[in-house]
Structure 1
């Protein structure tokens, strides 16, 4: 298909992964992001990339950037542990899809990778910066008489495109037009996450307990909610790493840190107030952990209040359905899910790689556009249905563990 052009709404991980895949296939594209800059707002810190997500990134990124991604991830020294709030080992098991980064002896196991989200986003932006347009908010789209779509933005501009992809997240305006009844539901749970500079203090002052927390992922089961703590320790300064492995790709400096997340029902962790000040959010989380082991409290006490973000947990019952056409969806726009299973971002990356492959078949003249988009959407919905089921099961197991902690 000559003149194929893809417009991607949303410069998150899924949208940028798709853009890299299209660039690799030689397909024209533009990405439109409503945020003014890549770092306009906090969008999370540590993100676990499983084997499926790693394969998707390898399929879309140039080899040099794929190598940079893998080496930019944090280094783990243990397989992770489960504790109660007194840091006593307790029974627990990871989600079935979790593959350990290291084995019980601390040797590399080739499993999941822990990436700093902003670093991964910087890698995904490398080489396509001129095609990513910030400060552009999608307004609507409409079919054109000779095929293709007209996409309008809220600044009064518009463009013609062959394919429109909504990669614009859980509150997707593209989905709102394509499938207005498919908005994900509020589960009643809330997730807080933040970034702590506690690693030096834990190693210096907290003895064996602090050292254990610094070795790998810790899941803490509290009375009615849970927390995840993950030490993010990097091999070498990221700017130097980029200069060595992918000259021309600039990465921001990131000091070693603790990622933490607290998840539980609103009735237990408190209201999800989007307008709360950083100090108010800090106080809310501090109140939840006030009687925890001192080493755990150190992690939360040394969190910059400005780093704390909150989101209500929303999940779709099933992947969104919309009429066949030249507009489609990927990632949370199509199948938002609970973070409990750690599969949402990885499913979005898989969507991106599969859609890029389908569009490459169109560009190469091997398949017509309607058939290619239909093939992508059928595979996406099958994959997403399994991911939604796995995510719901992980959330149920986490809730059961929290209930058990509450009863203890």
Structure 2
């Protein structure tokens, strides 16, 4: 079977690797000219995502991934804090977790290696449809085109393929604008290093401001102790942070800024919302070139709304079907599971592909259910943040967080943190 995959992100490359491994003729087209031309931040792969990936790539690729990933079981317990930096509580015990965090560039590089010569970079797709005989056809920006037995859109939130299938957008702005960056643990002052610790944390405050600080250490916390296989672009303990504000004209203006100008504007925005100065050190000490802005988009949380088209010889996966905000850390993992399910369905087909639409229908049913579950989890956090931007929500946040912080101080055997009540 001849398969064309539009989009060489995590999901598209995972699908290409899996199809190549079972002997299908596949080509993955991506507009980027380099595999590393993607955000240098991290993604989380839980046990389900890793199991799916192991069905798509060779064992050696999985070993290199684990050697390059930061194990959640090895970090401190996650923490929730308020806009003054006061401890509100801890997350679940992760000591038994099989999940890992990995640099997006690292994972994309490994998957591109698995796809090999079947990855075509620098090819921008501008249209998709069928020819006069009903064969799927993909058109490129230079006017060239290719046909295939099956076309799969793995082209993300603004998917050309999914828009064609649905005859319109498949997701919408979620109401938040995100800003992300990377900061080395060693660049923070000792007190802030002690407060944040070797864990991922989340800070919330009134008026829709939130700051997620993820911890990544693929060297000290490697999921597999095989340094000779480690190819992570992160070479030491690093915080990968994401600031969030409600979408507005003022917030949209920040998206036009870059580097140190954007850092300064973000800090000013948090300070205007009364955040303690030390809580913003992770933003102030970030690598300026890596600070970026992006809009949160989300598909419907109802499975029946996802992939709203009749199954056929053109389909989609990942964010093209169930665009998911990063607030649950499950989007990339869901795309990998989509790819594994699609490969499983295609493996069962006869040589003449007459059963292809039925196989695609079974795959899409699985993708709908998975997407709805992931979106539901991600949107809980989005709605919580947006709720603090209402007058009642802002008052409740400012009133209740000191009480929660006081209760946290009174809990027996709590983990000690630095005094964080400064301004």
| Displacement of 1:295 | 4.4
- Determine if the alignment matches structure 1 residue 190 to structure 2 residue 177: yes
1:73-119 C-alpha deviation (Å, 9 max, x unpaired): 124421211111332111475xxxxx75x43xxxxx23321111111
Report deviation, 1:358.
1.0
Distance 2:200 2:148 in 1: 44
Q: Does 1:281 align with 2:227?
A: no
* Secondary structure at the counterpart of residue 35 of structure 1: coil
Match of 1:151 in 2: 138
Q: Does 1:10 align with 2:7?
A: yes
Cα distance change of structure 1 residues 322 and 153 upon mapping to structure 2, 3 Å threshold: same
Matched with 2:88 is 90
For the residues of structure 2 that align with 1:234 and 1:44, how far apart are their CA atoms? Answer: 14
Q: Who is 1:139 aligned against?
A: 126
Q: For residues 268 and 85 of structure 1, do their structure 2 counterparts lie closer, same or farther at Cα, with a shift above 3 Å needed?
A: farther
Q: Is the 8 A contact 1:122 1:251 kept in 2?
A: no
Do structure 1's residue 19 and structure 2's residue 16 form an aligned pair? yes
Deviation at 1:401, TM superposition (A): 6.8
Whole-angstrom distance in 1 between the partners of 2:254 and 2:270 = 19
**Is contact 1:44-1:193 (8 Å) kept?**
no
Question: How far apart are residue 315 of structure 1 and its match?
Answer: 1.0
Q: Is structure 2 residue 44 aligned with structure 1 residue 63?
A: no
66-75 or 166-175: which moved more?
66-75
Aligned pair count reads: 385
Relative to 1, partners in 2 of residues 1:55 and 1:336: Cα closer, same or farther, differing over 3 Å? same
Pick which of 163-172 and 59-68 moved more: 59-68
Change beyond 3 A, Cα 1:269–1:117: farther
Point out where structure 1 has 5 or more consecutive residues left out of the alignment. 94-98, 104-108
Distance 1:253 1:348 in 2: 23
1:316 — aligned with what?
A: 299
Residue 55 of structure 1: how far off its partner (Å): 1.7
SS of aligned partner of 1:181 = coil
Normalised to the residue count of structure 2, the TM-score between the two structures is 0.82
Equivalent residues of 2:203, 2:211 under 8 A apart = yes
1:232 to 194, 216, 226: 216
Structure 2 unpaired stretches of 5+: 401-423
Of 242, 249, 252 in structure 2, the residue corresponding to residue 271 of structure 1 is 252
**Residue 69 (structure 2) aligns with:** 73
C-alpha separation between the residues in 1 aligned to 2:118 and 2:87? 50
From 328, 333, 336, give the equivalent of 1:346: 333
Which of residues 46, 49, 58 in structure 1 aligns to 2:45? 49
Map of 2:193 onto structure 1? 210
1:38-80 deviations in whole A, cap 9, x for unaligned? 233x435021212221222122121111122122112442121
Of residues 316-325 and 161-170 in structure 1, the stretch that sits farther from structure 2 once superposed is 316-325
Deviation at residue 333 of structure 1 after TM alignment: 0.7
* Residue of structure 1 aligned with 2:205, choices 208, 211, 222: 222
